[in-house]
Amino acid sequence: MKKIFAIASIALALGLGLAACDGKQSKEDAALAQAKADSLAEVARQDSIAAVRAAVAAPYVGTYEGELPAADASGLRTVFVVTPEGGYTYDQALVSDGEQKFHDNGTFTIDENGIIVLMSQINEETAATPFIRMQKDEQGNLIVVNADGTLPEDVKAYTLVKKSEVAETME
């Protein structure tokens, strides 16, 4: 009888041990499944953000060029490129020597008045800040507007002409 009781006790202990392992495994499986679900949700969120950016960018995609006024030079040769993904590059070079150059890239938003607001991020430690605003004209060109969104006095001098539906960079 003692042998049967001992064998039954061992079998019960083994059964409880296996059940405990199954419980632990189930918790690990649940945690893994949750991590996978969270990862898929984040991918879907990122895809959604990318789709919104692309939809906002669609009417503006292309390359815009012009020579903007400059205080200390005869002008700034400017190339502004809007990518299908909703990003931009903005390049300027002094017309007089072409040596002094400025480059920026980032994302942009469209405000409630239809003004394109370029969000520049100088480095990873700084928050993106608006650095230039533009408005689309009837011909599809972009006019650099004042900080308050009003048109400059000499609209023609601040107009970037759409050169291409394709994103091209300044060489």
- The CATH number given to whatever domain includes residue 100 is 2.40.128.640
Q: Dump pLDDT digits (tens) for 70-107.
A: 887 788 999 999 888 888 888 988 888 667 888 888 88
- Check whether 160 has a pLDDT greater than 80: yes
Domain that holds residue 77: 62-162
- The pair of structure tokens assigned to 127 is 């928050």
Listed in order, strand segments (DSSP E) in the chain are 62-68, 76-82, 87-94, 101-110, 115-120, 129-136, 142-144, 159-164
Instruction: With respect to residue 86, please indicate whether it lies within any of the assigned structural domains.
Output: yes
Instruction: With respect to residue 158, please indicate whether it lies within any of the assigned structural domains.
Output: yes
> Of 70, 90, 63, which Cα lies nearest the Cα of 78?
90
The number of distinct structural domains making up the chain is 1
Pair 108, 117: CB distance under 8 Å? yes
Instruction: With respect to residue 91, please indicate whether it lies within any of the assigned structural domains.
Output: yes
Instruction: With respect to residue 15, please indicate whether it lies within any of the assigned structural domains.
Output: no
- Check whether 64 has a pLDDT greater than 90: yes
Instruction: With respect to residue 109, please indicate whether it lies within any of the assigned structural domains.
Output: yes
Number of other CB atoms surrounding residue 162 within 10 Å: 21
Please state whether the predicted TM-score (pTM) of the whole model is above 0.95: no
Instruction: With respect to residue 20, please indicate whether it lies within any of the assigned structural domains.
Output: no
